Structure 1
């Protein structure tokens, strides 16, 4: 699949680009990269990609200080239900938004338990 394909533009490419951007503290850029509504890109972000797309979208909104961060967290929570890693990303973002250290530590424990040491370190 080429980088000009819809799968790259809206699917796995958006997810990987956002992960990289968030890692390097580029929350605004990640938010822009994940700007399309999940319902508009569902063909390219199916199943697990959709979970990661909406979880990272919510996290980027929180880290960028977006006024719609709460809405994105609420929407993401519904989509990622049942996916422990994507749910932990959403919970960590919510804990960051509300400056809840106890929940941040719980999210780190969840990532460690899922053998995701990179994610346990946080954005």
Structure 2
């Protein structure tokens, strides 16, 4: 729900592909080059998340944030810098973890949550 509202044909503002909104750099080996193919998209996303979770020593919260491009020490300025580039939608969604954990994971529309709504600047 967080990534594409379960739309397998979704393409994100930064070119992210499919239901799990995987980035184009993860599309190597996609069947017929179709990164949106549901089984490939799901397997690729789950492998990425599993590897990220393992590298973070099981820290689920950090790993969920990294799925959206977060990293330790990220500042507000670096998280939102893309809004001044040719790919405004490539900036981090400052409400991502709030929407995910307090919204979608509890059965609420996470798009209505948040305090920054910084992607609306795009």
Q: Specify if TM > 0.5.
A: no
TM range (shorter): 0.3 to 0.5
The structure with the largest helix share of the pair is 1
Give the TM-score of the pair, scaled to structure 2: 0.33
Q: Which has the larger radius of gyration?
A: 2
